[in-house]
Amino acid sequence: MSQDGVNKGRRTLLVGATAAVGAVGAGFVAVPFVKSWNPSERAKAAGAPAKVDIGKIEPGAMLTAEWRGKPVYIARRTQEMLDTLPGLADRLKDPENTVKSQQPAYADNITRSREPALIVVLGVCTHLGCAPKYHPEIKPEPFDENWQGGWFCPCHGSRFDLSGRVFKGSPAAINLEIPPYMFESDNVIIIGVDEEKA
């Protein structure tokens, strides 16, 4: 103890303990504050890629997945379905597939896909955002007596072929959008990732 009655050792201990408790308290306050800057789990999921098992899709069948809160249609086309595509050019609004803005480079072909048998399209009509219905059968339909399979939007009558290309006379102006996707394996695709840009 010093001459003026102050215990310097005790003072140093109290200052050190107070500083340590203050630092721990600041850490507890800072962690939630810094965490609040990160996107929420819901926001991460909304923009995150979606893995889809395509191994069980039968030829001619379609499954619906979800990516960024939107439906994604994945259909396995038969050879008969693929054979109809070249004969539809005179019925399409964009037969040469010239509107490139809504599709990745690998969709710049008649099948609009990475692999001819598998089509992956956003299930959102390009007219007003309705969900077109899948009609894969090649048979006359009430909305088209020469139907060759594809998607029909019952809300306003837009028609799309089995590659998601829009028909003339439809209110929709452009083809169904092809989302970015890649194959993780023969039976799994990842929607939201383009291996050419990854």
pLDDT in tens, 43-52: 555 668 899 9
User: What are the pLDDT digits (tens) for 158-180?
Assistant: 999 999 999 999 999 899 999 99
Q: Does the residue 26 lie in any domain?
A: yes
Total domains, the chain: 2
30 shares its domain with 114: no
Q: Does the residue 139 lie in any domain?
A: yes
pLDDT at 104: 85
Task: Tell me if 60 sits within 8 A of 76, measured CB to CB.
Answer: yes
With 0-12 / 13-18 / 19 or more C-beta atoms within 10 angstroms meaning exposed / middle / buried, residue 56 is exposed
Parallel, antiparallel, or unpaired: how do β-strands 118-122 and 70-76 relate?
A: antiparallel
pLDDT at 198 > cutoff 50: no
57 shares its domain with 148: yes
- CA 152 – CA 167 distance, rounded (Å): 10
State the greatest distance between any 2 C-alpha atoms of the chain, in Å, as a whole number: 109
Q: Does the residue 135 lie in any domain?
A: yes
130 shares its domain with 52: yes
Q: Does the residue 123 lie in any domain?
A: yes
27 shares its domain with 85: no
77 shares its domain with 158: yes
114 shares its domain with 16: no
With 0-12 / 13-18 / 19 or more C-beta atoms within 10 angstroms meaning exposed / middle / buried, residue 74 is buried
Instruction: Give the pLDDT band of residue 37 (cuts 50, 70, 90).
Output: low
Q: Pick the residue with more confidence: 37 or 49?
A: 49
User: What are the pLDDT digits (tens) for 1-23?
Assistant: 555 677 878 888 888 888 888 88
34 shares its domain with 58: no
CATH assignment at residue 92: 2.102.10.10
User: What are the pLDDT digits (tens) for 81-134?
Assistant: 999 999 998 999 887 776 666 678 888 889 999 999 999 999 999 888 889 999
pLDDT at 153: 93
**Residues 6 or more apart from 41 whose CB is under 8 A from it?**
none
pLDDT at 188 > cutoff 60: yes
Q: Does the residue 197 lie in any domain?
A: no
Q: Does the residue 13 lie in any domain?
A: yes
| 135 part of the active site | no
Q: What is the dihedral of CA 158, 161, 166, 172, to 10 degrees?
A: 20
Terminal CA-CA length for the chain:
69
Task: Tell me if 51 sits within 8 A of 68, measured CB to CB.
Answer: no
Q: Pick the residue with more confidence: 102 or 67?
A: 67
114 shares its domain with 130: yes
pTM: 0.73
Cα distances (angstroms) measured from residue 115 to each of 28, 35, 82, 111, 167: 52, 42, 11, 8, 23
pLDDT at 69 > cutoff 60: yes
Range of the domain at 34: 1-38
Residues pairing with 135 in the sheet: 150
- CA 121 – CA 74 distance, rounded (Å): 7
Which helix or strand (DSSP H or E) is residue 127 part of? none
Of these residues, 10, 44, 100, 156, which one is catalytic?
Answer: 156
